[in-house]
Amino acid sequence: MRQSLVAALAASCLALTAAACLPGAEAQSAPAPETSSMTATQFTRIDGKPLDLTALDAKAVLVVNTASKCGYTPQYEGLQALYEAKKDKGLVIVGVPSNDFGGQEPGTEEDVQTFCKLNFGVTFPLTKKYAVTGADEHPFYLNAVDALGDAAQPKWNFHKILVSGDGTPLKAYPSATTPSDAALMADIEAALGS
């Protein structure tokens, strides 16, 4: 019986070795990053549920890459106020936590969610943490740069991109643009059709 068990194990090892040499076997062994299977409008919410910008029933979406330990972090308060003021008119704000700049979002998704609720009462959707620049950049940012040019490439936390309800990038705003900025407000109103 021991000989037949050894023979069976040897046959299994041989089959596994042969399978590893087949074309395409190498590509199957390493899982692709999550963002490689996503479109430019698809994210995962901070709670793990899917979030598609085109399925938010919004006229306009303001996508903001966020961080909890940044000089711009107090903008969460203004973003929440803007969301509350305009959500009934069709504006959705989506926060995209990112640790890309200065390591200023080092915590877990749970840490981010707790921080935002406790300190700023955030009720607008937050995504899981994503890269917004570099090799693992979320497709949303690649698409925005294609559509709007370098202005759409985040240079720091709290960079903002306004998109239409169908996910079309409309305009980008640098981090220093506050949620109450007159030009941003005018662009939001135009996107909402107000």
Rounded to 5 degrees, what are φ and ψ at 27? -65, -30
Kindly name the residue from 99, 119, 143, 157 that is annotated as catalytic.
119
Which sign, positive or negative, has the C-alpha torsion 33, 44, 53, 153? negative
Token match 């996910």: residue? 167
- Helices (H) then strands (E): counts for the chain: 6, 6
Tokens 């006229």 correspond to 59
Contacts of 76 (CB under 8 A, 6+ apart): 66, 95, 116, 119, 120, 122
- SS3 label, residue 44: strand
Task: Identify the H or E element spanning 94.
Answer: strand 91-97
119 is catalytic: yes
Catalytic center residues: 119
